[in-house]
Amino acid sequence: MFGAGSVAFLTIIYFITNGMDVLCKIRQICSAYDAIRPNKHSPFDSMNEMIVVDDTSHITETDFYCTYWSCIDSYKCVENFDGKISVYVYDVKKYVDSELRSLLSQPSKEHIELIWVISQSRYATTDPSEACIFVPSVDLLNQKHLNRKTVARILASLPFWNNGSNHLLFNMVPSMHTEARTLLAFPHGKAIVAGADFTQMSYRRSFDVSIPFYNPHQDDSSFINSNNRYSSRPWLIVSAQLQYSEESYKKIQSISSRHGDVLVLLGCKDSNRPKTWCDANGSEYLYPSILTQGKYCLMTRQRQLTLLGLCDALRAGCVPVVCAQSLVMPYSEVLDWKRAAVFVNEDRLDSLAEILTDITNDRDTYTQLQQQGRFFYENYFKMINQTALTVLNIINSRALPHRALSYDFWNRLILPAMSPNPFIIPLVPSSEVGFTAMILGYDRPSLVKQVIQQITKTKHVSKIIIVWNNQKLKLVIDSSWPKTTIPVKVVCRQS
């Protein structure tokens, strides 16, 4: 993984870059395309150089039909002594061409933090031969700054690339439009993509991981002490998006004209005030603080980054309303978004106000949606290190299903004062009590011996029961059987 020099490099960058860059490309909202941009000052030039030859013969085209079982070498994903897979992060390199010209821009602070967190996590290994997953130290978060052919050559040159099998690539700003077949515009073989803005067309189920677009405004004072009370939010719906489709915008404006508590915002034409958005009449509103005044925040289909405002909405206590059927929600594999958001078919957009009014008539339902959204934000959206660890936890659950985290773990509201439910039977046996292993056998005593030998190596086995179903062949336990201190009982089938 990281050599001593690489770790020192990451540590230096992590501490000399204070705060996030302010993103103001598109008027009053921070531009998604500049949210993740290269560092202007870093010791990147001091890193070891790796010459990437101008050879495309090793580049493997993207496999659009990857599944866990077809594109992952599962034999590498064995459980280590901590009950988890191992992840290897490549050493940070400066990739240059044959004339020693740099092929990549400086890495972004977000990318540096991601690989730093992974390298310090419980999954990290410094031995590539132990690794189930390999994470390249190439910044792919924002494709706006990447040359497709160059990135493909760099990835293909990695020593353990193997057509991308068992590799994990992170991306938050795709270069392709929403309905593209893949988020990444460059060939990446069989690599797993942890990306934002997936749709049903680009998402390879049980293989890719849908992640949120990281919001660098997590420290924005607009959200401090925001009031989550239903009665303090005058707007039923707030819609503030980078762009609208023509059809959606007409429908939303029609809703706004019929209902006085529906606010539709766009960038102001003549205002230079930062973070200011305007409605159709030119009235100005500060973003993102306006979200704290809305009960629901609408997100309709866009060409890119439809869910860009999802993080802001969750943090503001504004229940997301998603009106784009093909979108894949962040961490949809494990998070139950129906507990935190409202989903409305696009053909029912005209009736949106009535639908939401019916839902909010039950204040308890609204409060539960709001609280669950806040839980998701605090645990999975708030910091970029949560993105890295959540992705690894999901992949670990796929590789080791018996270690998979439960639905309740992912979706529960953490209430430390609550006592455990006395009617819930734990899935994992107590280490003090242990568990009983039952072996069913018929005509192969030698195989039963082998099974017992393996079971005795397992922790917390308190008893072994052999159910022998062959009435004609007697099972005799003699000195040839494995020696064990665990009680072994044989139950024979009676005639």
Q: What is the pLDDT of residues 404-424, one digit of tens each?
A: 999 999 998 754 444 444 444
- How high is the pLDDT of residue 221? 56
For 261-282, what is each residue's pLDDT tens digit? Answer: 999 998 887 767 777 888 888 8
Higher pLDDT, 183 or 373: 373
Architecture of domain 221-379: 3-Layer(aba) Sandwich (3.40)
Residue 12 reports pLDDT greater than 50: no
Residue 492 reports pLDDT greater than 50: yes
Cα separation, 336 vs 319, whole angstroms: 14
Q: Token pair of 265, please?
A: 């915002």
Cα distances (Å, whole numbers) of residue 81 to 255, 407, 459: 58, 24, 11
Q: List the Cα angle 267/273/277 in 5-degree steps.
A: 25
- How high is the pLDDT of residue 246? 85
Mean pLDDT of 16-22: 32
Which percentage of the chain shows pLDDT scores above 70? 81
Angle between helices 363-376 and 352-360 (to 10 degrees): 100
- Cα-flanking dihedrals φ and ψ of residue 135, to 5°? -115, 110
The residues facing 452 across adjacent strands are none
What's the mean per-residue pLDDT of the chain? 81
Cβ atoms of residues 54 and 101 within 8 Å = no
- How high is the pLDDT of residue 9? 38
Residue 475's pLDDT band, with cuts at 50, 70 and 90, is: confident
- How high is the pLDDT of residue 495? 58
Cα separation, 185 vs 74, whole angstroms: 27
- How high is the pLDDT of residue 368? 92
**Least confident interval from 22-36, 376-390, 423-437:** 22-36
For 56-86, what is each residue's pLDDT tens digit? Answer: 778 889 999 999 989 999 889 987 777 899 9
Residue 32 reports pLDDT greater than 80: no
Pairing relationship of beta strands 168-171 and 94-96 according to DSSP bridges: unpaired
252 CB neighbour count, 10 Å cutoff: 23
Look at residues 402, 377, 401 and name the one whose alpha carbon lies nearest to residue 390: 377
Look at residues 103, 138, 142 and name the one whose alpha carbon lies nearest to residue 25: 142
Cα separation, 136 vs 150, whole angstroms: 15
Mean pLDDT of 220-241: 72
Residue 485 reports pLDDT greater than 90: no
Cα separation, 58 vs 164, whole angstroms: 11
Torsion, CA 302, CA 304, CA 306, CA 312, rounded to 10: -130
Query: Could you state, in order of their start, the residue ranges of all structural domains in the chain?
Result: 4-210, 221-379, 435-492
Residue 230 reports pLDDT greater than 80: no
Which sign, positive or negative, has the C-alpha torsion 469, 472, 478, 481? negative
Q: Which of 257-266, 445-454, 483-492 has the highest mean pLDDT?
A: 257-266
Cβ atoms of residues 107 and 42 within 8 Å = yes
Cα distances (Å, whole numbers) of residue 168 to 3, 31, 388: 20, 26, 11
- How high is the pLDDT of residue 418? 44
Q: Token pair of 292, please?
A: 């704290």
Amino acid at 367: T
Sheet architecture: strand order including 276-278: 284-286, 276-278, 262-267, 235-240, 294-300, 319-323, 342-343
Mean pLDDT of 338-364: 91
Burial 384-420 (b: 16+ CB within 10 A, else e): bebbbbbbbbbbbbbbbeeebeeeeebbeeeeeeeee
Look at residues 113, 93, 307, 112 and name the one whose alpha carbon lies nearest to residue 196: 307
As a residue count, the chain comes to 495
The residues facing 266 across adjacent strands are 278
Mean pLDDT of 110-127: 93
Cα distances (Å, whole numbers) of residue 367 to 207, 228, 331, 340, 362: 34, 9, 22, 10, 9
Instruction: Find the largest Cα–Cα distance for the chain.
Output: 93
